[in-house]
């Protein structure tokens, strides 16, 4: 059996490597930004113990708190080993997927014993297009990581019940704990074990079964105790009523079956709407399909077992109302059990004419999966695809607008936001994003209207409060900006960013001592708020406190080595003081960290010119001229300077 398992691992590694190798350079997406890229909590392994007691560390946005401490540990390990290098995160997701596929193989061997059928099941699971989201979308690692521990817990339990020894029971219990600490959906495992005892465990043993079964519920109770604050806030404000939720998820059952059988129009945002009543035709069809499946499986124990195991992971999202109605990654764990069932049903897959059909099916899956992975290349390709497949969903246009904005296509972004607004007049995020791009387009009055509409819908919407205050500041309406920020602080006195913004306003008003006090207060509330320390450095520099300014900029760079403005200002500070070599070292370090920041070449050119190293200065000026965003007047001035130096 060990030889066959080794063969299975090699085959799975090659197959999944060929299909997914091009995805390792794909970008971060959607929730990745607030939970990974902008999340300061994952940047130090010293904070790992805090992950297990504070759900707010899940995100840079406290309102998106979730209790997934082991997921955060995996992010922290990724960051410790490679910072924000994309390959490390994608390789981590791919390895988890490979491990899950191997567990599907082992589960198939344990349930029906036929290794070619088990290998087919593992390949079907590993290559199925529905798994592209958990592999390509870093934040969806929660699904594959939870699935890995869930499958390991289930397999360990089966091994123990089939006589392999109590150590497998202990490993099963530990794996279940890890599954819950990765994602709460795995809370259904104790029910899955009961289902196994009813339809899967064929030979009774003399073990004290209940004594060993109850600890699984103990793990559930312990998890609920740890996660109670987050769960209470999550469940306390359901987004839809119970009848509407059940009707919607009954309708979703048919939709999910369609996605599994014909995964040809996968998208990050599905064209799926809520069902209002249990009597709606799609809901009735869904209920009928579920009833038919139960009737078909009633005398087939293995079908009942695997079918129940496939349904159970869907129950939490079916019973608890969530903002997203249907989601591809929710099918990840159910697919594992369905694949085992398909493998068992096909039987001798490598014999006779079946082998042609099997290979053809796997090849089709592989091609579709590879093509789908390419769509996940970046935000623009992902949301452009979604807008084509679900043009009636406002979120597709909202996020497409964000991708267009990120790529510099501001006018196109506004058009996308306008389409989103036509579909959802009361969507706060649409008004907020429109306000942001209207500022970029110089339409301040329209931006004021957009932010005003945001605050009409939610007077405490923090992003709109912050951006509106910044707009007031730019328009020199400093009193209005201060009043808005102080009003927001009365509701959120612990919000560090509001104190920092108030500091910026006080500095504009000429109250430098008050500005310094605001920055210090922001840092006391959030020591990781590097922008406040950067602002403090700028204030010290304006006051001629060179040493304190330099120390502030250096501390920012220790915490955020990619902070371009701190390199620029620290280099300028050294240049102004005549510390030419120090300026050169700062800008050289900046270019190593941020090679695309060509402005550093200009600073290097200035410092080298001051050292009378003319040839080196010319090289850097030319690099800046070649890659810098200069207007015609600036470019002409720099060209004249280059000609003057070259003539010396």
Distance between CA atoms of residues 124 and 129, nearest Å: 10
77, 218, 225 from 52: Cα distances, Å: 15, 18, 12
Higher pLDDT, 631 or 606: 606
pLDDT score of 191: 94
Cβ contacts of 291 within 8 Å, gap of 6 or more: none
83-87, 184-188, 276-280, 386-390 — which is least confidently predicted? 276-280
Give the model's confidence band at 126: pLDDT under 50 very low, under 70 low, under 90 confident, else very high: very high
Over 60: is that where the pLDDT of 203 sits?
no
Taking residues 158-168, report their average pLDDT: 88
pLDDT score of 378: 93
139, 166, 197 from 163: Cα distances, Å: 38, 8, 14
CB 149 within 8 A of CB 175: yes
Taking residues 274-289, report their average pLDDT: 71
> What is 555-572 written as a DSSP string?
HHHHH-TT-HHHHHHHHH
SS3 content of the chain, % helix, strand, coil (to 5): 80, 0, 20
CB 194 within 8 A of CB 304: no
Taking residues 107-134, report their average pLDDT: 91
pLDDT score of 254: 84
Buried b or exposed e, range 458-480, using 16+ CB within 10 angstroms: eeebbbbbbbbbbbbbeeeebeb
Over 50: is that where the pLDDT of 65 sits?
yes
Taking residues 47-67, report their average pLDDT: 87
52-56, 226-230, 297-301, 332-336 — which is least confidently predicted? 297-301
Outline where 314-461 has alpha helix (H).
315-319, 332-346, 354-375, 379-389, 394-406, 410-423, 428-440, 444-457
Taking residues 169-193, report their average pLDDT: 95
CB 533 within 8 A of CB 555: yes
pLDDT score of 518: 96
pLDDT score of 371: 95
Taking residues 6-11, report their average pLDDT: 92
pLDDT score of 351: 60
pLDDT score of 531: 94
Share of the chain above pLDDT 70, in %: 93
Give the model's confidence band at 201: pLDDT under 50 very low, under 70 low, under 90 confident, else very high: low
Over 70: is that where the pLDDT of 608 sits?
yes
Over 90: is that where the pLDDT of 443 sits?
yes
User: What domains does the chain contain, in order, with CATH numbers?
Assistant: 2-375 (no CATH), 578-648 (1.25.40)
Give the model's confidence band at 425: pLDDT under 50 very low, under 70 low, under 90 confident, else very high: very high
Over 90: is that where the pLDDT of 635 sits?
no
Give the model's confidence band at 204: pLDDT under 50 very low, under 70 low, under 90 confident, else very high: very low
Count of CA atoms in the C-beta half-sphere (13 A) of 358: 23
Which strand (E) or helix (H) includes residue 604? helix 599-610
Q: Could you say which DSSP state residue 196 is in?
A: H
In whole numbers, what is the pLDDT of the chain averaged over residues?
89
Taking residues 575-594, report their average pLDDT: 93
344-363 tens-digit pLDDT: 877 655 565 677 788 889 99
pLDDT score of 111: 86
| C-alpha triplet 592, 597, 599: angle, nearest 5° | 115
Which residue is associated with the tokens 């452009």? 384
Distance between CA atoms of residues 534 and 522, nearest Å: 12
pLDDT score of 528: 81
pLDDT score of 348: 56
Over 80: is that where the pLDDT of 324 sits?
yes
Over 70: is that where the pLDDT of 137 sits?
yes
453, 458, 491, 630 from 461: Cα distances, Å: 11, 5, 11, 37
pLDDT score of 358: 83
252: how many CB neighbours lie within 10 A of its CB?
A: 25
Cα 86 → chain centroid: 12
> What is 51-119 written as a DSSP string?
HTT-GGGG-SSGGG----HHHHHHHHHHHHHHTT-HHHHHHHHHHHHHHHHHHHHHHHHHHH--HHHHH
280-289, 485-494, 500-509 — which is least confidently predicted? 280-289
522-556 tens-digit pLDDT: 999 988 889 999 999 999 999 999 999 999 999 99
The whole model's pTM is what? Answer: 0.82
Which residue is associated with the tokens 């988890």? 96
């Amino acid at each position: 059996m060990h030889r066959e398992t080794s063969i299975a691992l090699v085959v799975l590694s090659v197959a999944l490597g060929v299909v997914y190798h091009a995805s390792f350079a794909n970008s971060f997406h959607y929730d990745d930004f607030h939970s990974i890229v902008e999340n300061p909590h994952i940047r130090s392994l010293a904070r790992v113990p805090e992950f297990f007691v504070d759900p707010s560390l899940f995100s840079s946005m406290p309102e998106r708190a979730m209790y997934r401490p082991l997921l955060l540990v995996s992010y922290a390990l990724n960051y410790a080993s490679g910072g924000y290098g994309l390959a490390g995160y994608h390789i981590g997701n791919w390895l988890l997927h490979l491990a899950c596929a191997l567990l599907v193989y082992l589960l198939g061997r344990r349930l029906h014993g036929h290794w070619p059928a088990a290998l087919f099941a593992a390949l079907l699971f590993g290559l199925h297009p529905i798994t592209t989201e958990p592999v390509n979308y870093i934040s969806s690692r929660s699904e594959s990581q939870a699935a890995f521990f869930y499958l390991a817990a289930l397999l360990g339990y089966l091994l123990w019940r089939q006589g392999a020894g109590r150590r497998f029971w202990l490993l099963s219990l530990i794996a279940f704990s890890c599954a819950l600490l990765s994602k709460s959906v795995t809370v259904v495992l104790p029910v899955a074990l009961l289902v196994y005892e009813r339809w899967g465990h064929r030979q009774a043993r003399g073990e004290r079964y209940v004594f060993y079964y109850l600890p699984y519920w103990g793990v559930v109770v312990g998890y609920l105790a740890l996660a109670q604050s987050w769960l209470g806030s999550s469940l306390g404000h359901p987004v839809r009523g119970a009848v509407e939720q059940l009707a919607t998820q009954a309708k979703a059952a048919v939709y999910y079956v369609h996605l599994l059988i014909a995964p040809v129009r996968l998208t990050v945002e599905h064209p799926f709407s809520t069902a209002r009543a249990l009597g709606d035709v799609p809901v009735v069809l869904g209920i009928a399909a579920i009833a038919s499946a139960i009737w078909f499986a009633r005398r087939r124990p293995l079908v009942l077992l695997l079918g129940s195991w496939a349904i159970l992971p869907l129950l939490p999202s079916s019973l608890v109302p969530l903002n997203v109605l249907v989601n591809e990654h929710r099918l990840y764990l159910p697919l594992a059990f369905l694949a085992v069932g398909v493998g068992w049903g096909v039987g001798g897959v490598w014999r006779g004419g079946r082998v042609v059909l099997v290979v053809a099916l796997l090849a089709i899956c592989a091609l579709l999966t590879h093509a789908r992975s390419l769509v996940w290349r970046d935000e623009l390709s992902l949301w452009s695809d979604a807008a084509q497949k679900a043009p009636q969903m406002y979120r597709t246009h909202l996020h497409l607008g964000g991708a267009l904005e990120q790529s510099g296509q501001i006018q196109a972004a506004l058009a996308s936001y306008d389409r989103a607004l036509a579909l959802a007049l009361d969507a706060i995020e649409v008004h907020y994003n429109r306000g942001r791009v209207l500022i970029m387009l110089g339409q301040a009055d329209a931006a004021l209207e957009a932010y005003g509409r945001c605050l009409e819908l939610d007077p405490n919407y923090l992003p709109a409060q912050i951006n509106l205050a910044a707009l007031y500041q730019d328009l020199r309406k400093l009193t209005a900006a201060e009043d808005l920020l102080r009003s927001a602080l009365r509701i959120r006195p612990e919000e560090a960013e509001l104190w920092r913004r108030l500091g910026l306003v006080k500095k504009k008003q000429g109250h430098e001592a008050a500005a310094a006090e605001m920055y210090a207060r922001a840092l006391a509330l959030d020591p990781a708020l590097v922008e406040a320390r950067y602002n403090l450095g700028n204030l010290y520099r304006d006051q001629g406190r060179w040493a304190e300014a330099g120390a502030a900029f250096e501390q920012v760079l220790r915490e955020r080595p990619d902070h371009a403005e701190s390199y620029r200002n620290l280099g300028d500070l050294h240049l102004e003081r005549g510390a030419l070599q120090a300026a050169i070292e700062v800008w050289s370090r900046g270019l190593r960290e941020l090679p695309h920041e060509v402005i550093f070449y200009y600073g290097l050119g200035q410092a080298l010119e001051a050292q009378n190293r003319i040839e080196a200065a010319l090289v850097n000026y030319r690099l800046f001229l070649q890659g810098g965003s200069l207007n015609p007047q600036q470019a002409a001035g720099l060209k004249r300077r280059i000609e003057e130096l070259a003539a010396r």
